[in-house]
Structure 1
């Protein structure tokens, strides 16, 4: 069982779903309590990697309870690291930092340098997300030094990538590139191909930013190749999108559309609505540039429909996360209530009960405001509910237009009655609201008249709110950007306390999301109406279906995808009719040496010429040759037996030799030669395409072992 857990740990990063399913399958069979704790740790980590954070909350709580109950204090560091990561995903950076610091404190009693290095890296992540870049660098370097000291190579690579991201944000591109190259070295030591693919993606992103598109595409192609091999579809979509953006900038629209088709297919498989919508928007833009308005409209529709469902999913997930946090807080408070035994502690119980009620109110407000896109309805829902929590003589929400540098509101209520619309300049020194946006700081004062010099005066020129004595004003922010300000004010002194302030701070993120959704919905609605107008003018045109390219761009013959489709059909036909089918796999001898010495340009010309000479050897329209990849080609010969396939293979060999393409670096001849492996068979019903390819490939390797420049058939080997 211990070895099984170690195996789960080894695959957790590359295949978290398999790791999670394995833990669920055998965790109930574990008898040893220490192994049960290890299984619980792996279960929580797998859920986090799969972004199922709301489920991980419950597991983390159970984990900490098990550790406390059985006295495994040395495991607390890992538990706090997991809890911190969960809070980080919830964007509760203060709680995440608190958990990480508890983990570091526990390390003093129970040293665990690997986990310590991970926690330092995670703290760096927090500061990076908060755009506190110098602090982030400090923690990343501390984590890096510790990881190097312990030869924790995979974490060293991750730290180098994180450092590269911070230097990239600071515009220090050469430093960022140096860090990524160091990361690749460490990932290579561990054979961590996921890390290597991420590193090449990061290099591509930097080269794109500095305008070096050729290097960017080269790095992205490396990243994409590795991700495809590893079936790392989530990150592959990001690499595709970056490649598409580059190709659009280069006006290589058809090449971009090839990546669009692949990316959209993968997004569908993963049910990645955001990725699908973003790629659809790129496709719509390309078709609009090409003046193919019918296709453009189709993809704009896809984008609009996907965006709408994606935003609903995000809100549902956000609500699940809120519910999970409330439930865990409630569970903790219920344990505390059970412990209370005297009057003093009963008072605490009443406070906790009040907290439950207010949190339920906050939850209800969140559900109400995120279920509507009408911004005025959002205001009245907020005002009605906030008055249940505190005295709100005046309540309002200002919206911030960053482009115009203006604050405006028609969302202002005093004693429940709407007030006249207001517009403020962001640099207005007489406005407390403008001050909040400029400083990105909340204001909480119990007596504004005695503190107003700190913030300047508020609303004096509009004669609005100047009688307010207790004021709370909170910036509404999404990803460190201010979208507005919420203010609650009372004509009474000391109307609010820190409890009220914290409640409003909790609510602020939900309000910001609701406002952002409303604005995005309005913008999207306008865009769709404009697109529909265009579509109505084009009703006389028929929609054309987009087709995926099946031709290899370099050799102008079918590509691997085309081969797979064609061979699949022919194999089914051969099985039905019990006819022969033959497969040839053709490899150019010592092509790497040709490329290395004659250069890639001549290498590409050679591939094109070889492809045309192979194609010339085919006599029937149904015979098929394709580029399989690199310097390898395949041919499918339907209803052709061994002798017929051998004749075609010999003619291919003759055509190549007869053309005498110079190759003085070949150890066997001074010209280009080929080696062919073949297999002819009447396939049984259970025979697969992969088996036939495998047999032909085995024949190819036999021919290579014999010295190349020859033909070998699997039928001769049997």
Structure 2
């Protein structure tokens, strides 16, 4: 009856949370046609796909494939990385870990190119989960440590808690139970401080697993049931199936077969409805073991055959998905190569345009320089012509001045010639008479004629004085010239 009550309550809880979840999806779908911008449309498709991963992975897959196609058409790397991450989550829920890993690696590559440390840290965390499930613990630990380093660098408290839980899973898988409990409790306290119900559910299940490994079944049962209640409240189908399966496995280990049967049947029902193949397979294997131990060999055979059929189906699906994934990777790489080729062409065109631009700039600079030189030459030519004109004017003025000066000098020379001629003829006559009369005055024989000689000397002297006056006037007129 207790198990029946748990199942009823879980169904009621799923109904309430499912309505809220579906309401959010309906709201996003209703507003989707109005989103015109291709990048915003990809982001909204990714949001819808994320919500669908909790309710219907088939619908999530349809949405995310559309998102991947649109993101590639728009060359929107961030949107493509998010869509590939969601695709990885879808295949993780289906327990198809090979395909999930392929999508995660593609997403990780894009996040690294974008230097999106948050996206990179989440992918590393998801990869750590897969490697823990596959018991590749060292690889899981490496991814978890890388993830926690990035999250601490970014100050992402929730991300650190998620990575701590992966490390706790690593410690559990390697038998380091004390470290696993400490790390799990640290993660749980972080989740509670952040009021993160999803994280609380995961941490409770992880701690319950540690106690179950140590065969402390009462403590394990307490943590498993707390984790189940949290998962039911938030409609985390993956955690609900994991909780049912862990409780069934634990009761089987305690040989409480009725309780084990109820929880394992509940696991198969939820896992089958939500395509959580890994949990469905393991639940069938445990149920077959349960019936084998109770002696119900027909039921054991039935579940063994059902298990074989399901595993074959999963193997076939995984093969198809691997082929599809390889095809997707091939197409992606092909488009990347084409994009790289186009980028090289564009780069060459940019280089050619840059070269032509440089040549044009140099030509303009040279033209401007030649224009400046021509302008300078024209100005110099004008200045030279002006100077030549001034020189010609000066030459003409100089010639006029020389001509005038020559005429002046010629006039002076003429005056001087006249002066010399006048001096030679006019002055010499009176002077010669004076000299002659002086000689006559010296003679004794002519003493009685001295008076007449003096008169004559007086006349000659007056004549000479007049000549000198005339010479002075001529000299004055010459100076004025």
1:100–1:123 Cα contact (<8 Å) kept? no
1:126 to 1:103, Cα distance in 2 relative to 1, 3 A = farther
In 2: Cα distance, 1:166 partner to 1:14 partner: 36
Q: What does residue 114 of structure 2 align with?
A: 103
Q: Are positions 1:136 and 2:143 aligned together?
A: yes
In 2: Cα distance, 1:136 partner to 1:341 partner: 38
Match of 2:217 among 207, 213, 224: 213
Which structure 1 residue ranges, 5 or more long, are not aligned?
1-11, 69-75, 105-114, 345-718
Taking structure 1 as the reference length, the TM-score comes to: 0.38
Q: What does residue 59 of structure 1 align with?
A: 67
CA RMSD of aligned residues (A): 4.0
Q: What does residue 91 of structure 1 align with?
A: 102
Q: What is the CA distance between 1:244 and its match in structure 2?
A: 1.7
Q: What does residue 201 of structure 1 align with?
A: 205
1:155 to 1:21, Cα distance in 2 relative to 1, 3 A = farther
Which structure 2 residue ranges, 5 or more long, are not aligned?
1-16, 89-98, 349-481
Q: Are positions 1:42 and 2:47 aligned together?
A: yes
Alignment of 1:619-630 (within 5 A): none
Match of 1:244 among 240, 248, 253: 248
1:39 to 1:123, Cα distance in 2 relative to 1, 3 A = same
Alignment of 1:661-676 (within 5 A): none
Match of 1:319 among 315, 319, 323: 323
Q: What is the CA distance between 1:139 and its match in structure 2?
A: 1.6
2:48–2:63 Cα contact (<8 Å) kept? no
Q: What does residue 698 of structure 1 align with?
A: none
1:327-359 residue CA offsets vs partner (Å, 9 max, x unmatched): 3334445556778989x9xxxxxxxxxxxxxxx
Q: What does residue 92 of structure 2 align with?
A: none
Q: What does residue 27 of structure 1 align with?
A: 32
Q: Which has the higher strand share?
A: 1
1:53 to 1:326, Cα distance in 2 relative to 1, 3 A = farther
Q: What does residue 120 of structure 1 align with?
A: 121
Q: What is the CA distance between 1:262 and its match in structure 2?
A: 1.7
Alignment of 1:596-607 (within 5 A): none
Match of 1:287 among 291, 303, 309: 291
- Structure of greater relative contact order (alpha carbons < 8 Å, 6+ residues apart): 2
2:128–2:166 Cα contact (<8 Å) kept? no
In 1: Cα distance, 2:216 partner to 2:82 partner: 39
SS of the residue 1:132 aligns to:
helix
Choose 1 or 2 for highest CA Rg. 2
Match of 2:308 among 294, 304, 329: 304
Q: What is the CA distance between 1:298 and its match in structure 2?
A: 2.7
In 1: Cα distance, 2:299 partner to 2:231 partner: 30
SS of the residue 1:189 aligns to:
helix
1:36 to 1:96, Cα distance in 2 relative to 1, 3 A = closer
Q: Are positions 1:258 and 2:265 aligned together?
A: no
1:36 to 1:143, Cα distance in 2 relative to 1, 3 A = same
Report the number of matched residues: 312
Q: What does residue 510 of structure 1 align with?
A: none
Q: Are positions 1:162 and 2:166 aligned together?
A: yes
Q: What is the CA distance between 1:195 and its match in structure 2?
A: 1.6
Q: What is the CA distance between 1:199 and its match in structure 2?
A: 1.0
In 2: Cα distance, 1:282 partner to 1:127 partner: 26
In 2: Cα distance, 1:13 partner to 1:175 partner: 37
1:664-698 residue CA offsets vs partner (Å, 9 max, x unmatched): xxxxxxxxxxxxxxxxxxxxxxxxxxxxxxxxxxx
Q: What is the CA distance between 1:245 and its match in structure 2?
A: 1.8
Q: What does residue 190 of structure 2 align with?
A: 186
Taking structure 2 as the reference length, the TM-score comes to: 0.54
1:14–1:194 Cα contact (<8 Å) kept? no
Alignment of 1:501-540 (within 5 A): none
Q: What is the CA distance between 1:243 and its match in structure 2?
A: 1.7
In 2: Cα distance, 1:100 partner to 1:122 partner: 9
Q: What is the CA distance between 1:203 and its match in structure 2?
A: 0.8
